[in-house]
Amino acid sequence: MLPKVSVIVPIFNVEKYLTRCIDSIVNQSFTNLDIILVDDGSPDNCGKIADDYEKKDSRIQVIHKKNGGLSDARNYGMRIATGELTIFVDSDDWLELNMIEELVRTSLTFKADIVQSAFYYAHEDHLIFDNRYFTKDAPPLILDNQSLMAELVINERVKNFAWGKLYRTSIIKDIPFKKGVLFEDVFWAHHVMQRVNSYVIVHKPLCYYFQRDDSIVASYTTRNLDIIQGLKERHSFIEEFYENLANDSYQSLLKNILIHYNLLLANRSKDKGGLLRKDLQNYLKTHYREINEAVSYNRQLQTQLHLFNIHPYLHTLYLAVNRFFRLTGFHAKSPKLERINLSNNIKGIPE
C-alpha cells in the first residue's frame, strides 16, 4: 500500500492566490493525502475559502488559529499530521498535478529520507528555471549526509527552503520551526539534514515559487536581518558537527552581511544612527582573520572583504563600478537562466 502524505499549508492574507494553490493539491494524481490548511488568523476571506474546500473534500482538515506567523502555522500542522511522508506548500505557490506522485515514487525507489524537487520562479507573465547546474531531464542526484550538508551551506543545488521537498515525517516531527523570525527555514534546515542518510534531488521542475512584484529595497525591514542571526546559529552548529565546512559557512555569512549592509544603507531611515550597520561591520572586524582565510581562494570575495574592512563605502563603490562594467559589456555577463513566457496570461501554462 502506498504511504499517506500529509500536505501542510500555512495560510495568511493570500485570498487572491489561495484557490490556485489548493486546487493544485486536491487534484493531485496521488490521492492518499492528509491535507492540513492552517488559517493563521488571516484577515481576509482565506478562512472561508479553506472551510468551503473542507466541506467538499474529506481529506482536508482546517485549523483556525490566532496569527502567530509562518513557523507557528507549520508547527500546528505538524502536530496533527498523520502521513508517513510530509510536504509543506506555501499558500501563494502551486504544484504540478503529478508532483506528489513523482516524489513519492522517487522516495520509495531510493529509500530516501528527503526528496527535493526542482521548481520554477513564477512571475505574473513568465517562468524562470535555474538551469545553471542541471537540465530538466538529468537523472536524480543522490547525496549522502556529508555531501548534503556541504550543499546546504552553499545553498545553490540544495536550498534552505522547507517547501518543495518530501520528508519522511519521522525525521522532522520533533524539530519545530523557530517562531517569531523571518527566514525560519535557515534556522531549521540544518537540524533536519543532520538526520538524513539519503537525499535525492529530482531535476524536473514540479512546483511554482510565486514571485510578488514588491521590490526588496522598497519592502525591506530590519526583520530581514533575521537571516544573519540564522546563519550565525547555523555557523555555530557547523563548527561543532561539520568543522570541515566552516569556511563555506563563513563565505555564506560574508555574502549575506555585505548584501544586508547595503540594503540598510539604501534604507537609512530604518536604521537610526546606523546601529544595525555598525553591528554587521563589527562582526566582520571581529572575525576578519577567520573570514579572510575562508575566502582566500575566492579573489572576488576577498577583494570585497578587504575593501569593506577599510571602509564599507569602498565596497559599495566597488559594487557600483562592477555593475557599470557589466552593463557596458566589459565584464563577462552572468549566464542567462531559462525564461518561459506564459500564454494568454494563464498561470503555469508555458507557450
Is pLDDT of 289 > 50?
A: yes
- Residue 14: what pLDDT? 94
β-sheet bridge partners, residue 128 = 121, 339
- Residue 1: what pLDDT? 81
Q: Which among 118, 229, 115, 117 is positioned nearest to 171, based on CA atoms?
A: 115
More reliable by pLDDT, 219 or 17: 17
Q: Which among 224, 219, 237, 243 is positioned nearest to 294, based on CA atoms?
A: 243
Is pLDDT of 182 > 60?
A: yes
Is pLDDT of 223 > 90?
A: yes
Q: Are strands 165-168 and 85-88 parallel, antiparallel or unpaired?
A: antiparallel
- Residue 13: what pLDDT? 93
Is pLDDT of 333 > 70?
A: no
Question: Cα–Cα distance between 158 and 203 in angstroms, integer?
Answer: 11
Place of cell 544573519: 228
Binning pLDDT at 50, 70 and 90, where does residue 227 land? Answer: very high
